[in-house]
Structure 1
Amino acid sequence: MAKAKGGFTGSSSLEDELSCSICLSLYRNPVAFSCGHSFCKQCAQQVLRAQKQANAPYSCPVCRVELGPILELHKNFHLCSIVEVYLSHNEKQDEGVAVEEDAVPCDLCLDKPQAAVKMCLVCDASLCQAHLDKHSARASQRDHILVEVGKSGSTEERRCQEHGRVLEYFCQNEGLFICVLCSITGSHKGHEILTLKEAHDKNMDDLSRTVDRLQGYKSDISTTLEELQRNKDRIKTNTKTVTSQLQKLFGEIKAQINKKEKKILSDIQSTEKSQLAEFAKLKRELEKKREEIAQHLQSLQKIRQQSNTFCLVKEFKQVLDRTSSHKFGIRKMDMKVVQLNQGNINSFQTWLLDSSSLLDKQLQAVHRLLTNQITWNR
């Protein structure tokens, strides 16, 4: 919890004296150890629980004096009374308004609690604006984790299910958020552990590299689509040219090769149709990949603007998992242009005069060339 406002002369120093050395907030239900040091009851229980889990002897977290195997926590009534008087005196200086029925009350406001605007996960307290300002003013509490009040599941989501402590670290080995006990005595002991700030910085670097990678894929796809369009035009131009040449050749030898003329023209058109169909299929695939990349880029841009470290790491991991499951590789095509030159035509005419069987062989050779004019490079 944060401390109460205003009041006694020298309030800041008195407030420090009345603050728990573990949570750095005013004592709540203070208990005393045998060494004389006092702590909030909840803080003391958490320390003792952690020492027990680590199979370490009970000791005071301040002076490190061992407390014995059997420990009873006795309430410090005198200190509790001093804190209550201090809070009561300070609260009389405040003019708060009653909290609305649907609002979460501040844990530090006494007579007239005001609506809480943030919740500190470390202090386990809901704070109104006045107490939030005082909470954030202390250097020792500036790194505490604050979340929005009233968001369902936000508090539980940020706490360790095993130890009940705030998730302040990130395990690189397993890609999980963990608490300090998980890294010291839990299943993540010995793993590569990062603070949330370090995880944030690393993910920002990974995010930038991912954006660059996807932009590179997008650029390659755009270039391939342009090349695809050029090859499509070349197919049509090449087909038109070959068709014209063949029509002229067949015109000169009308009666003899009329049947052959119709067959080869039909084969050319069929080849063009199948090739253009393959082009259309590849174009649809590339456009779909480009759209998917654009959507991923849009999601990453939104994540880049995310101020909440937890949400940024979580959402970026989700986007990274989605992008890694997609294949954005590009299959290209190598196109060979085939044309009939004058030498081919002269050869045809010579061979036509020699034998119709030779003509058949030449027409079959041209048909094979036209059919194989494009090589797919996958």
Structure 2
Amino acid sequence: MAEAGAAARLKDELTCPICLDIYRNPVSLGCGHSFCEECIQKDQKCQQGPSKCPLCLSPTGPTGELKPNFHLRNIVQNFLDASVHQGEEKQKVQCKEKEESSDQQEEEKQEVQCKEKEESSDQQEEVILCDFCLQEPHPAVKTCLSCEASLCQAHLSKHSTKNTQKNHVLVEPCGAQVLAERKCPQHGKLLECYCEMDKVCICILCSVLSSHREHKILSLEEAFAQAQRVFPETLKEVKNYETVLDRSIANLLGQAEEVKVKEGLQWQRLESLFKEISLQLEKKKREIVKALSDYENQQISRIHMELKNHREQKRSASRDVQELEALRNQTDILLFTRAFTAIQARERKPV
């Protein structure tokens, strides 16, 4: 929204006051106001008398004094290019959103279909058929653990009328896998007892023959009644435990967020510290470089001074050599002795 408002304000600033459209070949008058070249030329032709600015009515002079505003022209061109680019990007985003929306709808449709198929297959698997129906099996309403068979309502009625089957254990309809889970894997008998010490369901033979024979054994009915008595308290304890875990998780998340905040502050301090160290090193580097440069200049200056002195001494020595060479052929004893003594007496500084 902020970018749209800024673009609208910029468009207002780039609008010609005469044609109320984006500037075309903008030119500026002496007063500083800008117009489209074609618009201001038409306006000046329609004016009677000296030409004036349409906004401030300042005299503008002849038409030939219109100055092209190249800076404003570049701004207008960049604005138009940005608008075209933004329109293209918007179209791309819209096309992409449409594609993503259609893809998402297709994925959701496929997920719904898969879910419906899974639910349908689950429902088909959950239907347990009567084991005694011969022609068209009806859905079972109970499963007899003693007979290891599922019964429909009609066969259940016949099953319950027999005295020998009145004590059979009936449960909700279940398949062969569930029936197998209700039997002892060691003795193949129904799990009818409960070992209170080991807290497992066992068969009657396990309570007599296996390691459970010395343990306290309860019937499943007694174990169920005992579990029902402690069920509310156990549920309360588990809920309290769940609440404690929620608090602990919230506390850990808070600690993690606090660590992130502290880590961010430490990073900021570290960045500031290294920045300060970098500035100090840069300052020290400049000082050392300046000291080296000053030392270099001093040494070069000293060497140049010594070089200048040596060259003067060399010129003096060369002059002495020339005079001595010239004095070599002097035969006058007085002149030779006096000139040689004068040359020999001249000062020669040690090198």
| Bigger relative contact order, structure 1 or 2 (CA pairs below 8 A, ≥6 apart) | 1
- Asked if these proteins are the same fold (TM beyond 0.5), I'd say no
| Structure number with larger C-alpha Rg | 2
The structure in which a higher percent of residues are helix is 2
TM-score by length of 2: 0.30
TM-score under structure 1 normalisation?
0.28
